[in-house]
Amino acid sequence: MTATSEGPAPEAPLVEHHVLEYPGGYTRSLGPALSAFFTGLRDGRLVGARTADGRVVVPPAEHDPRTAAPLGEWVEVGPAGTVTAWTWVANPKPGKHHLSGPFGFALVRPDGADTALVGVVDAGVPEVMSVGMRVAPRWARVRTGTIHDLEAWVPLADGAAPAPAPPNEAPEVGEEPVTRIVCPIRLEYEINAGIAPSRYLRGLAQRRIIGQRARDSDHVYVPPRGSDPMTGAPTEIEVEVGQTGTVTTFCITNIAGLSELAPPIPYVTAQVLLDGAATPWFGLVTGCDPTEVRMGMRVRAVWSEQAAPDARTLVGFEPTGEPDAPYEHWKDYA
Amino acid sequence: MRRVGIVSFAQLTSPRERRRNEVELVIPVVQEAVRASGIPKAEIGFTCSGSCDYLAGGPFSFVAGLDAVGAWPPIPESHVEADAAWALYEAWLVIRSGEADSALVYGFGKPSLGDVDEILGLQADPYTVAPLWPSATDLAAMAASAAIAAGVVDERQMAEAAAAARRAGLANPHAVVGEDVTAEELLARPVTRPPLRDADVAPVTDGSAAVVLAAEDLARRVCDRPVWITGIAHRIDTPSPGARDLTDVASARSAAAAAGVGDAPVDVAELSARHSHEVVLLRRALGVGSGTVVNPSGGALVADPVMSTGLIRIGEAAAAVRAGDAGRAVAHAASGPALQQNLVCVLEAD
């Protein structure tokens, strides 16, 4: 049971900004309980569900969290409530947190409910916050049936009555129940390629294709991953493979718009077994009519003008015009 | 049913790994754990991993992780989108049921690539909570405020837990935080995420871990002192943080009872407490008192390689038993916001 060691000596890591986002956001259907909840928010009311033993759960659930019995009696709670837990966000994130200034996160138990909601408290300064503080909703003027319709909880003075929701200024809001919400999610990353892929990408910048040889066999893996995918053993011996290879299998795409990076249809993607490599690699086949591409076809690398450590520096492959490789050469990959 | 033993363990941590990718973090720990197990890799009967694609923001990173294992000819293999402690649970079941005599379990992740606090916050309810973007620390800080208000935790206990962790970190080569500090000194530092101070929160840590398990007969053959898993259970609470008692950890309490933690004294407990108040809450929920050394490694507060943190607790606790520092140890893993899901494991040698 010991520590494991560091890898080989470093070059500067290759890092790229990466955004994970579903354009337009996920659309989620709500089901009966959350439909009642979000319809209530749109109409300026807080809705929970009553359980058989008389507890009120908010947000409402479709089933009793304790007994799993189906629930269907929706009841109005609040709108005032009590903070049961809180923290403070000193630096809100634009595009994520909907309040622009510092705010509190809190669990708020609306009057008449037995559970609490996660909410934001627009309290100005954290000194105002406490467990037990009384709060009331500040409703959005434009309410469309999302959690943001309850714009924020605000401190409620002793004995004061919560302000009613203002008339909904959203255009085209009807009486129909809210049945779906759209949830935008965006995450950002700084991805680093790793040691072995960085060597491969740096090779591309020099128009070289670099793989790694297995420790226990003569297999050369392209692109290299730092280990032998058959045994898991580390791979450290670098090998430059040929720039010609054999199509082992391919696909002709006739559907437009599958990827922002895709060329005009029809186009061909293929697995290409480079000469000297043990694993085929994926690339476009250009320079011939798609119908001419076939298993066993001999191809050579096509390079872009850029000399960058970027997978797109290797544009793809084009026919060499040589006779096809014999079936024996590529049958294990077909 | 036959017993299952831990025969080897390896871990790797890095505060902010910029050279190796996720797979390259797995390669050394798998190599080391398999080598130290004494079981030839080709004879290991089952492989199970724990990871989370959202940490790196790419699909199927767990499939890429298999490059570090070697999966040809094809191997029986599984994966959990959770801390690898849950992968160990699956592997334990597979061995107990007789499907395999040995298993390789590993976890990996690079939380430093993105905003892990934000990413883990997205485990909250996607309808009513996640659109507000509370982070995992925001949710934990709220739980801490509830526990403090209820009088079950105080800031001094939290500072003592954080200070003990930081002092232990000095002696743990895998810790990414270590500091000779007292509770008084920590209490003098600013509260940054009320009621938490920076030292109350686990540091962002990249890393990996691997464990090899073996059925009793095989474990005795390959290992001079196998550490037996004599109890293991996991439980989950409601995902709604406002619908459970945040001043207790009911699912940890229930898992500990099911694993038999209270059946005999516990010498060492390794707890996946990512926030200092959770050390106090978990001690109470697991029923480990002053006779138990808690987190001799420093725990998650000094190294939190997400998706391996819980497996490392099991590995560290097993190492303590194997070294004779503990006759009976408990390891704990957690998942979900504010200790929503808890796994408890009891470890003993002969």
Give the position of tokens 């017993």.
B3
Please check whether residue A1 lies inside any domain of the structure: no
Give first-to-last CA distance, chain A, whole Å: 43
Return mean pLDDT, chain B: 96
Q: Is the pLDDT of residue B325 over 80?
A: yes
3-class DSSP state of B191: strand
Assign 3-class secondary structure to B143-161: HHHHHHHCCCCCHHHHHHH
| pLDDT of the residue at A3 | 38
Judged by a CB distance cut-off of 8 A, whether residue A34 touches chain B is yes
Q: Which of A87, A193, A226 sits opposite B27 (nearest CB)?
A: A226
| pLDDT of the residue at B143 | 98
- Given pLDDT bands bounded at 50, 70 and 90, which one contains residue A5? very low
Tabulate helix, strand, coil % of chain A (nearest 5). Answer: 15, 35, 50
| pLDDT of the residue at B133 | 96
Name the B residues in 255-314 with CB < 8 Å from any A CB. Answer: none
Query: Quick one: closest CA in A to B118, which residue?
Result: A187
Residues A171 and A260 grouped into a single domain: no
Please check whether residue A96 lies inside any domain of the structure: yes
Please check whether residue A14 lies inside any domain of the structure: no
The answer to which of A166-175, B251-260, B266-275 has the lowest mean pLDDT is A166-175
Q: Which domain holds residue A268?
A: 211-333
Contacts of A191 in chain B (CB under 8 A): 56-58, 113
Q: Is the pLDDT of residue A2 over 50?
A: no
Q: Is the pLDDT of residue A1 over 70?
A: no
Residues A157 and A249 grouped into a single domain: no
CB B158 within 8 A of CB B200: yes
Q: Is the pLDDT of residue B285 over 90?
A: yes
Residue of A57, A118, A198 to mutate, testing the B interface (most B Cβ within 10 Å of its Cβ): A118
d(CA A16, CA A199): 15
Q: What is the per-residue DSSP string for A200-244?
A: HHHHHHTT-EEEEE-SSSS-EESS--SB-TTT--B--EEEEEPSE
CA distance A323 to chain B (A): 32
Please check whether residue A158 lies inside any domain of the structure: yes
Per residue in B300-323, pLDDT tens? 999 999 999 999 999 999 999 999
Per residue in A250-268, pLDDT tens? 999 999 887 777 889 999 9
| pLDDT of the residue at A4 | 39
Which of A162, A182, A202 is the endpoint of a domain? A182
User: Are A116 and B243 an interchain contact pair (Cβ–Cβ within 8 Å)?
Assistant: yes
Per residue in A284-316, pLDDT tens? 999 999 999 999 999 999 999 988 999 999 999
User: Are B27 and A93 an interchain contact pair (Cβ–Cβ within 8 Å)?
Assistant: no
CA distance A128 to chain B (A): 12
Per residue in B107-134, pLDDT tens? 999 999 999 999 999 999 999 999 999 9
CA distance A287 to chain B (A): 32
Judged by a CB distance cut-off of 8 A, whether residue B321 touches chain A is no
Q: Is the pLDDT of residue A66 over 90?
A: no
| pLDDT of the residue at A317 | 97
Name the A residues in 167-226 with CB < 8 Å from any B CB. Answer: 181, 183, 185, 187-197, 225-226
Contacts of B23 in chain A (CB under 8 A): 194, 225-227
For position A50, which CATH number holds? 2.40.50.840
Residues A134 and A219 grouped into a single domain: no
Q: Which of A4, A87, A106 sits opposite B28 (nearest CB)?
A: A4
Average pLDDT over residues B139-160: 98
Q: Is the pLDDT of residue A178 over 60?
A: yes
CB A231 within 8 A of CB A206: no
Q: Is the pLDDT of residue B270 over 60?
A: yes
Alpha helices in chain A, H assignment, sequence order: 31-42, 195-205, 327-330
Q: Which of A7, A97, A230 sits opposite B133 (nearest CB)?
A: A97
Please check whether residue A9 lies inside any domain of the structure: no
| pLDDT of the residue at B58 | 84
Residue of A115, A117, A227 to mutate, testing the B interface (most B Cβ within 10 Å of its Cβ): A227
Residue B20 phi, psi (nearest 5) = -80, 145
d(CA B157, CA B154): 5
Please check whether residue A204 lies inside any domain of the structure: no
Alpha helices in chain B, H assignment, sequence order: 22-37, 53-56, 61-65, 84-96, 116-121, 136-149, 155-171, 183-187, 216-222, 250-259, 276-286, 309-322
d(CA B312, CA B335): 14
The ipTM estimated for the assembled molecules is 0.94
User: Are A28 and B242 an interchain contact pair (Cβ–Cβ within 8 Å)?
Assistant: no
- Given pLDDT bands bounded at 50, 70 and 90, which one contains residue A10? low
d(CA B266, CA B256): 12
User: Are A28 and B127 an interchain contact pair (Cβ–Cβ within 8 Å)?
Assistant: yes
Average pLDDT over residues B327-339: 96
Please check whether residue A289 lies inside any domain of the structure: yes
Judged by a CB distance cut-off of 8 A, whether residue B132 touches chain A is yes
Residue A168's contacts (CB-CB under 8 Å, 6 or more residues apart) are: A42, A43, A44, A141, A142, A143
User: Are B142 and A5 an interchain contact pair (Cβ–Cβ within 8 Å)?
Assistant: no
Residue A282, judged by CB atoms within 10 A of its CB (0-12, 13-18, 19+), counts as exposed
- The CATH-assigned architecture of domain B4-114+204-222 is 3-Layer(aba) Sandwich (3.40)
Name the A residues in 298-317 with CB < 8 Å from any B CB. Answer: none
Contacts of A234 in chain B (CB under 8 A): 27-28, 31
Contacts of B115 in chain A (CB under 8 A): 187-188
Please check whether residue A225 lies inside any domain of the structure: yes
Q: Is the pLDDT of residue B61 over 60?
A: yes
CB A49 within 8 A of CB A75: yes
Tokens for A298, please give them: 């001999």
Which of A182, A201, A224 is the endpoint of a domain? A182
Closest among A48, A166, A185 to A108, alpha carbons compared = A48
Residues A173 and A281 grouped into a single domain: no
Per residue in B204-240, pLDDT tens? 999 999 999 999 999 999 999 999 999 999 999 988 8
Per residue in A216-228, pLDDT tens? 899 999 999 999 9
Residues A115 and A56 grouped into a single domain: yes
| pLDDT of the residue at A9 | 53
Return mean pLDDT, chain A: 92
Cα separations in angstroms, B250 against A130, A303, B247: 25, 60, 9
Residues A143 and A220 grouped into a single domain: no
* Apex A187 CA angle, A184 and A189, nearest 5: 165
Judged by a CB distance cut-off of 8 A, whether residue B32 touches chain A is yes
Average pLDDT over residues B52-78: 90
Residue B255 phi, psi (nearest 5) = -65, -40
Judged by a CB distance cut-off of 8 A, whether residue A37 touches chain B is yes
Hey, CA dihedral for A168, A170, A174, A177, is it positive or negative? negative
Q: How many percent of chain A have pLDDT more than 70? A: 97
Residues A155 and A87 grouped into a single domain: yes
Report the domain count for chain A. 2
Residues A41 and A172 grouped into a single domain: yes
